Amino acid sequence: MRLEGERVGVVGLGESGYWASLFLKDKGAEVWVTDKDDNPKLRERLAQLEKKGIRGELGKHSLEELRKCEIVVLSPGINPSQNWIRLLEESGVKIIGELELGLKFVNTPYIMVTGTNGKTTTAQLLKILCGEEVECCGNIGIPITRLLLEGRKFSGLVIEASSFQLKFMKDFFPRISIILNIHEDHLDWHPCREDYISSKMKVFAFQKREDFTLWNADEDWWKGITPSPQVYFFSPQPHSLKGCFIREEWVIWREEKEIGVFPLKEWKLPGLHNLYNLTAAVGGAILWGVKGEEIRKRIKKFRAIPHRLEFAGEWRGVKFINDSKATNVHATYFALLSLPPGIILILGGRDKGNLYTPLFPLVKSKVRYIVAIGESRNKIEEVFKRFAPVIKREKFEEAFKEAVARALPGDTVLLSPACSSFDQFTNYKERGEFFKKLVKSLK
């Protein structure tokens, strides 16, 4: 991809937009950056870019400036339905995402992981299983353009890809693609469920016959599809297909014959959802070429990732679990499934078009109180009041205090919001860290 002398626009000055701008400048492009928000953090970032000779603006998107560009790089999360994006495309401007931009400069094979939930855990586990020479990037928080700009050496990549990133991608060729699961999410961004699913399924759309793809054996979205790459399956349950599963407390790989990879007792993460992540990652590592004995050796190095059913502490017989990464109903479902009854559930934030129906049986059987927070608190009260008492609080700290006041010895205060954090926090990590800080303050 030729960039030298080209005028390139970058929309969005988050992590991916910032590093994409520096990467483009390093490749000789004339870069214009724009972000519709304006705050001290963005001003500082723009000032750093200006020192490198990159010009830009905050507080708006100037269509006339973007129309002067040959290429416009959209940061993840920029809603593609906005009218100015359509106008740019009609003007002949090429629209591309930061991930696809970086991949045009990658000559090593890579694994791409997508799905509604479990992407980060699976990607991190794959990095460990595939060896130290493999780097991890993408939606996990490390832009691919940063890896390239910093000159890191790697023989392969594990890429976590969101539906936002896949939406615009056209030319990319994973050696292995993995779709963990597909459930409703981000319907405040995607125009419909079908658009969300089609974005996820693009992960294997450009693969070749010699490539591999791993699918969830317990879902049915793939039935009737005949993809180009070779298909394998994963599940914690025994199945008759090629791929990875668990039987009699052993992780098994089946191709022409079955191989016992390692005993399940060597896996330390709780929850059924993490068994799906485990079987997907083990399958991906085997297809990458890692031997069973190496997988068994490396699996012991893996540790739980923060904000995913993370034990945050115990006070007066009450346990506190930080599951702030649960930004959709499917993730909260598995959190509730993983814990015993006696839950004080902190639920809410910015609603993403959620349909909460899957949570009803678990809430009825396991949750003593729901503390509904943020923008969605009224909707949550209306939806759940038949199944558990609901207390509404606008601010997070007020909700936490209410949860503590209602908890009895033996209970669990669970932060598993099923909503995004953007009504009160920058991201789910900030929300989770604040929860842990409040837990620590009890002691």
Domain-wise residue ranges, the chain: 7-100, 106-299, 310-442
Query: Class assignment of domain 106-299?
Result: alpha beta
Degrees to nearest 5, angle at CA 142 with 429 and 120: 60
Would you give per-residue pLDDT tens digits along the chain (443 residues)? 889 999 999 999 999 999 999 999 999 999 999 999 999 999 999 999 999 999 999 999 999 999 999 999 998 878 777 888 889 989 999 999 999 999 999 999 999 999 988 899 999 999 999 999 999 999 888 999 999 999 989 999 999 998 888 887 888 999 999 999 987 655 555 556 677 777 888 999 999 999 999 999 999 888 888 888 999 999 999 999 999 999 999 999 999 899 999 999 999 888 888 999 999 999 999 999 999 999 999 998 887 778 988 999 999 999 999 999 999 898 899 899 989 999 999 999 999 888 899 999 999 999 999 999 999 999 999 999 999 999 999 999 999 999 999 999 999 999 999 999 989 998 999 999 999 999 999 97
Residue 415 pairs in a beta bridge with 322, 346
Contact predicate 140/165, CB 8 Å:
no
From residue 433, alpha-carbon distances to 201, 306, 307, 323 in Å are 33, 9, 8, 11
Domain 310-442: give its CATH superfamily: Mur ligase, C-terminal domain (3.90.190.20)
Alpha helices (runs of H) in 73-192, residue ranges in sequence order: 83-90, 98-103, 119-130, 144-149, 163-167
Contact predicate 381/390, CB 8 Å:
yes
- Check for a shared fold between 7-100 and 106-299: no
Query: Class assignment of domain 7-100?
Result: alpha beta
Query: How is the beta sheet containing 7-11 ordered, strand by strand?
Result: 55-58, 30-35, 7-11, 71-74, 94-97
Cα–Cα distance, 403 to 415 (Å, whole number): 10
